[in-house]
Amino acid sequence: MSDQPLDGAVALVTGASSGIGAATARRLAREGAAVALVARRRDRLHRVADDIARLGGHAVEVAADLTEPERAEEAVQDTLDRLGRLDILVNNAGIRLLGSALHTAVEEWDRMVSLNVAALLHITHAAVPHLIYAASTSPRQVADLVNVGAAAGRGARPESSVFGLTKAGLNSFTESLRQELVVERVRVSVVEPGTVDTELVDHLNEITRAAARRRVAAMEALRADDIADAIGYIVTRDRRVAVNQMLVRAGDEIL
């Protein structure tokens, strides 16, 4: 009998090509799960899959743009076809674009809403029936849905209005979904990172990117593995335990 808590389980991780998503995929593989790596950048997915194979784990690459409902459904079906089931969904894909309402192009707002909200809804809708089935048929007798939010979703900040909107809305969606699925033995959780040193800052404009990098440099920022550890902790609890919300900040972070 394996001593790995996720032995036999299948996890689907979105935004798995880098950062928190890639770190989470590696962590879940170490815990025994087979992992479907979902993102748009196939070349990056291949590297993560190779990392997992070197660790002795198993991962499959699913290149998909989840902002399209049909592609989200196909990503879930591809996971089922290749790995046989779906026990864990980690909704990590997202983007953080900062700027004031006066100076931000509406296209940037649309981009955040499309990826941070619409893509998450599409993949969740496609996955929920299979998570319910997994909870009723697996030895774990539980399934998990983990949404990656942000500390910014807890309060308003300048130049972060729409990003905060997407993450505050995520918190409300997560709690409603938790209440709906608790009777199905599907645990629904949100992990809210503070400042993490990832490539998300690369998507910002030059001035905002420089300011964000100064903020990261001024503290000992979180690493992607820190958030992956939080997610790993949540999904490896015994079925009697549900960790529904976890805020993870850098040790010297104030806001």
Contacts 24+ apart (CB under 8 A), 149-153: 149/174, 149/190, 149/191, 149/192, 149/193, 150/96, 150/192, 150/193, 151/192, 151/193, 151/194, 151/247, 151/249, 151/255, 153/192
Q: Is residue 42 part of a domain?
A: yes
Q: Is residue 155 part of a domain?
A: yes
Q: Is residue 255 part of a domain?
A: no
Number of structural domains (the chain) is 1
Sign of CA dihedral 124, 128, 130, 134: positive
Question: What is the reported pLDDT for 151?
Answer: 94
Question: What is the reported pLDDT for 231?
Answer: 98
Question: What is the reported pLDDT for 162?
Answer: 96
Question: What is the reported pLDDT for 254?
Answer: 80
Spatial distance between the Cα atoms of 18 and 15, rounded to a whole number of angstroms: 7
- Of 162, 173, 41, nearest in space to 112 by CA: 162
Please list, in sequence order, all residues whose beta carbon lies within 8 angstroms of the beta carbon of residue 47, skipping any fewer than 6 positions away: none
Chain segment 94-122, per-residue pLDDT in tens: 999 999 999 999 999 999 999 999 999 99
The SS3 call for residue 39 is strand
Q: Averaged over 148-152, what is the pLDDT?
A: 95
For residue 178, CA distances in Å to 51, 73, 89, 155, 183 come to 33, 21, 14, 22, 9
Q: Is residue 108 part of a domain?
A: yes
Percentage with pLDDT > 70 across the chain: 91
The SS3 call for residue 14 is strand
**What's the chain's average pLDDT?**
93
Buried b (16+ CB within 10 A) or exposed e, 11-21: bbbbbbbbbbb
Q: Averaged over 43-65, what is the pLDDT?
A: 96
Lowest mean pLDDT among 8-17, 148-157, 238-247: 148-157
Contact in structure between 34 and 83 (CB atoms under 8 Å): yes
Q: Is residue 181 part of a domain?
A: yes
For residue 229, CA distances in Å to 47, 77, 78, 138, 236 come to 20, 27, 27, 23, 11
The SS3 call for residue 85 is coil
Q: Is residue 233 part of a domain?
A: yes
Chain segment 34-49, per-residue pLDDT in tens: 999 999 988 999 999 9
Question: What is the reported pLDDT for 211?
Answer: 57
Q: Is residue 214 part of a domain?
A: yes
Q: Is residue 107 part of a domain?
A: yes
Give the CATH number of the domain where residue 124 resides: 3.40.50.720
Question: What is the reported pLDDT for 41?
Answer: 87
Q: What is the residue range of 35's domain?
A: 10-240
- Asked if residue 1 has pLDDT above 50, the reply is no
- Asked if residue 210 has pLDDT above 60, the reply is no
